[in-house]
Structure 1
Amino acid sequence: MVTRRTFIINNSLAATAVLIAPSLAFTMDKKEIGLQLYTLRKELSNNAKGTLEKVAKAGYTNVETYGFSIKDQFWGLSPIALKQILDSNGLKSVSGHYNLGSFLVDGNKTELKAAIEAAKILKSEYLTIPWVDEPYRKNTDDYKKISAALNEAGKMCQNEGLKLAYHNHDFEFENHNGTSGYQILIQETDKQLVYFEMDLYWVVFSGLNPVDLFQQNPGRFSMWHVKDMDKVNRKLNTEIGSGSIDFKSIFMEAKQSGMHHFFVEQENNYNPNPFDSIIKSHDFISKKLI
């Protein structure tokens, strides 16, 4: 039985903990643990409904889609059909990865408009660009062109009640005359129109510390990809908590980052299989990080 006295004591202890470690105040919220569905790309292609059921049973409440195309939609499912499966499993899709290569290159809005409609049907908050093809990101001028395109797409998304986000790999951190493509993207985009989904693995892979980027650009990183690095082969992923990335120190700075949502992702090196891997990652995050 919770008495008034124990209620007061418990709340006093919680307040004291926040005063001792104020950076924990943001992460003490039991955040929803999301999964980037690319982690289960083979399984989704074979059985999307069954795979999403297993994602929910693993404890995830939020997913990030990938692979939408005008022709095949989501692995053969229409956005309406996918939304029904998500709803029946208590899942939501706050964000989705949509390849908008034609828009970024030549301004063709066909893919962008289709992606916006799909994201609206899924009731997503973010439409996220996951990749820029190599020929179109060779120098600073290319990144400035990309930034201008992102601002335009961000405005279109904003008009439709969505937010546009950009997801990084490692190539954005290559040196271009003393700066990086990533820094150009941050500087040249309107923070009211373009948000960033930081892939923590690729930042560390590039030799950088995510916390330094948070301090340099506070509030710009509204989403994260949480993906661990194998201790032996840094080119491989592993389950969260089994690799070499110090996620505890990164999660301590979630508030400064501006993070509202994060998604587990594992592209390879599953142990022993993808479903066991996502369970292991979920359990580590829920018990050790949030």
Structure 2
Amino acid sequence: MTTRRNFLQQAGLLTAGIIIAPSCMMSKAESNKNIGIQLYTLREELPKDAKGVIGKVAQAGYKEVETFGYSSEGGFFGMKPTEFADLLKQHELKASSGHFGFDPYISGENEDLLKSYIDAAKAVDMKYIIVPYLGENLRQSAADYQRVAERLTKAAEQCKAAGLQLGYHNHDFEFKKFGDTTGYEILLKETDPDLVVFEADLYWVVRAGLDPVALFKDHPGRFKLWHVKDMDKANPKINTEIGSGSVNFKEIFANAEVAGVEHYIVEQENFSLDPFESIAQSHTYLKENLL
């Protein structure tokens, strides 16, 4: 099985999640437009038939996708940004956000990388450019996270000037303690809320032993995107279809307004069902039981 860690190491690509607007602010019909899927979920199927996969995502009920793995050479899944944008439009889909590999930019090795991401994001009419992962060499100390926060701020300023917004997606390593704080707390406190938003991967927050609702209440309005990803009841190291696992989504979704969430993005990294049946099941549960 291809794990995310192995995939990133082998392909130099980076990560994933789901999107929706709180039901208290819009009707179900309207909120359904913001249910998205992180395409990393279908990373095994995309290389075989990327255009067919996008069509099946739309058939499953999704209205948004979140990309991953963009490069200037390979584009989006082998398509140039304009070609990918046309494909999405054909299926009445939007790509409101994308995961882009930021390690070379954060380390200062490639200052020009961000411009290529901004150009690609604008070509497909994205709103958010998401930092999906930090290499281990960038996160060994509190000082490292402070440097990351500085680099995020610089990138966010450039994104804002281009009409975009920068976001940060968590795993569980950000919650490692450094004295009386964590890497995640440093990122939250040392970035401007008007510049940097956060994509809360709910599975990883829970797996780190934390309460997502408490996190939202401590930092209200910072979490504009959520990755809705469930935890297998028997094995917490793997995912399952939304509503089938152990994450208390009903309590979490009851606090959507506190979080400030605008997009709910489904993600799943492993399957016991056919992947397309799985994503349809997760979409149905999310739409009918959580929104």
Mark yes or no: TM-score above 0.5: yes
Render the CA deviation track for 1:171-226: whole Å, top value 9, x for unaligned: 00001111100000000001111010000000000000100001000000000000
The one-letter amino acid paired with 1:260 is: E
Give structure 1 stretches of 5+ with no counterpart. Answer: 1-22
Q: How far apart are the structure 1 equivalents of 2:154 and 2:28?
A: 34
Greater relative contact order (CA < 8 Å, ≥ 6 in sequence) = 2
* 1:25 and 2:27 aligned: no
Which of 239, 243, 251 is the equivalent residue of 2:241? Answer: 239
Question: How far apart are 1:109 and its partner, in Å?
Answer: 2.0
Aligned match of 2:18: none
The one-letter amino acid paired with 1:25 is: C
Query: What is the correspondence of 1:163-178 to structure 2 with a 5 Å cutoff?
Result: 163-178=165-180
Render the CA deviation track for 1:51-98: whole Å, top value 9, x for unaligned: 000000000000000010122111211111110110000000000000
Percent of aligned pairs with the same amino acid = 47
* Partner SS state of residue 70, structure 1: coil
Aligned match of 2:134: 132
Aligned match of 2:285: 284
The one-letter amino acid paired with 2:139 is: R
Q: How far apart are the structure 2 equivalents of 1:84 and 1:28?
A: 28
Which of 180, 183, 187 is the equivalent residue of 1:181? Answer: 183
* Partner SS state of residue 215, structure 2: helix
Q: How far apart are the structure 2 equivalents of 1:28 and 1:240?
A: 21
Contact map agreement 1:26 1:254 (CA 8 A) in 2: no
Aligned match of 1:12: none
Aligned match of 1:272: 273
Which of 82, 89, 105 is the equivalent residue of 1:80? Answer: 82
Render the CA deviation track for 1:214-268: whole Å, top value 9, x for unaligned: 1000000000000000000000000000000010110010000000001000011
Question: How far apart are 1:28 and its partner, in Å?
Answer: 5.4
The one-letter amino acid paired with 2:230 is: D
Q: How far apart are the structure 1 equivalents of 2:89 and 2:25?
A: 28
So what's the TM-score if we normalise by structure 1? 0.90
So what's the TM-score if we normalise by structure 2? 0.90
Question: How far apart are 1:107 and its partner, in Å?
Answer: 5.4
Question: How far apart are 1:42 and its partner, in Å?
Answer: 1.3
Q: How far apart are the structure 1 equivalents of 2:39 and 2:157?
A: 27
Query: What is the correspondence of 1:245-260 to structure 2 with a 5 Å cutoff?
Result: 245-260=247-262
Which of 161, 164, 167 is the equivalent residue of 2:163? Answer: 161
* Partner SS state of residue 113, structure 1: helix
Aligned match of 2:216: 214
Q: How far apart are the structure 2 equivalents of 1:25 and 1:125?
A: 22
The one-letter amino acid paired with 1:68 is: Y
Whichever of the two has the greater Rg, that structure is: 1
Query: What is the correspondence of 1:36-51 to structure 2 with a 5 Å cutoff?
Result: 36-51=38-53
* Partner SS state of residue 46, structure 2: helix
Q: How far apart are the structure 1 equivalents of 2:63 and 2:224?
A: 18
How many residues are paired up?
A: 267
* Partner SS state of residue 34, structure 1: strand
The one-letter amino acid paired with 1:117 is: D
The one-letter amino acid paired with 1:34 is: G
Contact map agreement 1:27 1:251 (CA 8 A) in 2: no
Q: How far apart are the structure 1 equivalents of 2:105 and 2:245?
A: 37
Aligned match of 1:18: none
Aligned match of 2:8: none
Q: How far apart are the structure 1 equivalents of 2:102 and 2:111?
A: 9
Aligned match of 2:36: 34
Q: How far apart are the structure 1 equivalents of 2:222 and 2:26?
A: 17
Q: How far apart are the structure 2 equivalents of 1:282 and 1:161?
A: 30
Contact map agreement 1:196 1:221 (CA 8 A) in 2: yes
* Partner SS state of residue 55, structure 1: helix
Label 1:24 to 1:161 Cα distance change in 2 as closer, same or farther (>3 A).
closer
Contact map agreement 1:24 1:252 (CA 8 A) in 2: no
* Partner SS state of residue 87, structure 2: helix
The one-letter amino acid paired with 1:92 is: K
Render the CA deviation track for 1:133-165: whole Å, top value 9, x for unaligned: 001101000000000000000000000000000
Question: How far apart are 1:108 and its partner, in Å?
Answer: 2.2
Q: How far apart are the structure 2 equivalents of 1:158 and 1:107?
A: 22
Aligned match of 1:5: none
